[in-house]
Amino acid sequence: MLGAEAGVDLLTHGTQSDADTIRDTSVAQPLIVAAGIVTLHALGTDGRDAKIGGIAGHSVGEITAAAGAGILTYVEAIRLVAERGRAMAEAAAAADTGMSAVVGGDEDAVLAALEPHRLSPANYNGGGQLVVAGPREGLAALAAAPPPEAG
């Protein structure tokens, strides 16, 4: 049922597709949320869902969390993530861009190093990890000459 709502064959992609196929964000995002929904459903059996005191998610996991909290129905969640995945895939195809995680380093120095490479902070993951996005050549230049560690 969720696959039809997503417009993606989740069963095939979740059991048979190769890594390159599921790396496509229009496939990966609905697959990740569907796996979370299946897990939520399994964990919520026998009244255990009444014992949940809170739920959280990170990035696309926020959609699963919203479904688990009852903010979205499972169908609404899968429709939303399918649209999100398609939009992100379309945007990614429009330019040769990417994302990289920068682990460690002085945050101010990392942020200062982004602009010359036409990069932007995309996500503060916490624990000293910052995801940066932009042109692939900028990501390669940043990797070749990373910012200094905190002194």
Same domain, 103 and 32: no
- Please give the share of the chain, as a percent, with pLDDT higher than 90: 60
Judge whether 149 lies within some domain: no
Specify the amino acid at residue 2. L
Same domain, 115 and 49: no
Q: Which residue has the higher pLDDT, 105 or 34?
A: 34
Mean pLDDT within 102-113? 89
- The residue among 79, 58, 57 whose CA lies nearest residue 69 is 57
Cβ neighbours, 10 Å, residue 146? 14
100 and 125 Cβ atoms separated by less than 8 Å:
no
Q: Specify the pTM.
A: 0.77
Give 16's pLDDT tier (boundaries 50, 70, 90).
very high
Q: In total, how many domains does the chain have?
A: 2
Same domain, 77 and 29: yes
Q: Domain range spanning residue 101?
A: 97-144
Mean pLDDT within 76-84? 96
Q: Is the pLDDT of residue 150 over 80?
A: no
Cβ neighbours, 10 Å, residue 68? 25
Specify the amino acid at residue 126. G
Same domain, 71 and 116: no
